[in-house]
Structure 1
Amino acid sequence: MQEADPPPPEDRVPSLAFGGAPTIRDVARIADVSIGTASKALNAGGRLSQETRDKVLRVAREIGYRPNDLAQSLHRAKSRTIGIISNDSFGRFTFPIVEALEERLAEEGMAVFMCNATDDPARERQHLDQLLGKRIDALVVTARRADKRPPIGPRAHGLPVIYVFSRADDPEALSLLPDDEGGAMLAVAHLASLGRKCIAHVTGPEHFEAVRLRRKGYRSALAEAGLPEIEGFYLSGVWSEAWGREAAARLFSRSQTPDAIFCGNDQIARGASDTLREIGLAVPADVAIVGFDNWDVMVLAARPQLTSIDMNLKALGREAGDSVLEMIAGRKLSGVRRRPCSLVVRASSKP
Structure 2
Amino acid sequence: MTTPAGTPRRPATLSDVARLAGVSVATASKSLNGRQQVRAETRARVLSAAEQLSFSPNVLARHLLSGRSGTIGLVTHDLEGRFSIPVLMGAEDAAGTGKTSVLLCDARGDALREQYHVQALLGRRVDGLMIVGARPDPRAPLGELPVPVVYAYAPSDDPADMSVVTDNVLGGRLVAEHLLACGRTRIAVVTGDATYGAAHDRVAGVRAVLDDAGVGLTGEPLYGSWSEEWGRAAAALVLAQHPDVDAIVSGSDHIARGVLDHLRETGRRVPEDVAVTGHDNWEILALNARPQLTSVDMDLEEVGRRAAALLFDAIEGRVRSGTEVVPCRLVPRASTGPRADGGGGHRSPPGQDVPSVSG
Cα distance in 1 between the residues matched to 2:241 and 2:33: 72
Instruction: Give the match's secondary structure for 2:108.
Output: coil
Matched, 1:96 2:86: yes
Contact kept? 2:32, 2:46, Cα under 8 Å: no
Pairwise mapping of residues 1-351 of structure 1 onto structure 2 (< 5 A)?
Answer: 8=5, 14-15=7-8, 36=25, 47=42, 48-50=45-47, 52-57=49-54, 67=58, 69=60, 71-106=61-96, 109-154=99-144, 156-157=145-146, 159-231=147-219, 233-254=220-241, 256-351=243-338
Distance 1:243 1:334, change over 3 A: same
Give the unaligned 5+ runs of structure 2.
339-359
Q: How many angstroms apart in 2 are the aligned matches of 1:43 and 1:214? A: 47
**Residues 91 and 144, structure 1, Cα contact 8 Å, conserved in 2:** no
The amino acid that maps onto 2:58 is: P
Which 10-residue stretch deviates more, 45-54 or 294-303? 45-54
Deviations 1:183-222 (A, max 9, x none): 1011011111111111010000110010111111121111
- Corresponding residue number in structure 2 for 1:4: none
Alpha-carbon shift at residue 250 of structure 1 (Å): 1.5
**Matched residue pairs, number?**
326
Residue 41 of structure 1: how far off its partner (Å):
8.2
How far 1:160 sits from its partner (Å)?
Answer: 1.4
Q: For residue 277 of structure 2, give the secondary structure of its aligned residue in structure 1.
A: strand
1: CA distance between counterparts of 2:98 and 2:252?
A: 35
- Compared CA separation, residues 68 and 323, structure 1 to 2 (3 A): closer
Length-normalised TM-score, structure 2: 0.82
Instruction: Answer whether contact 1:260 1:289 (CA < 8 A) is retained.
Output: yes
Equivalent pair of 1:201/1:263 in contact (CA under 8 Å)? yes
Asked whether the 8 Å contact 2:109–2:134 carries over to 1, the reply is no
Q: Provide the C-alpha distance between the structure 2 equivalents of 1:38 and 1:330, rounded to a whole number of angstroms.
A: 24
Contact 1:42 1:57 (C-alpha < 8 Å) held by counterparts: no
How far has the Cα of 1:67 moved from its partner?
Answer: 2.5
The one-character-per-residue Cα deviations of 1:81-111 (angstroms, maximum 9, x if unpaired) are 2111111121101111110111111168222
Structure 1 counterpart SS, 2:241: coil
Percent identity over the alignment is: 39
State the Cα deviation string for residues 225-268 of structure 1 (Å, max 9, x = none).
2113333x421110111111111112122354310000000011
SS in 2 for 1:176: strand
Distance 1:250 1:73, change over 3 A: same
Distance 1:67 1:256, change over 3 A: same
Sort the Cα spacing of 1:39 and 1:175 in 2 relative to 1 into closer, same or farther, 3 A. Answer: closer
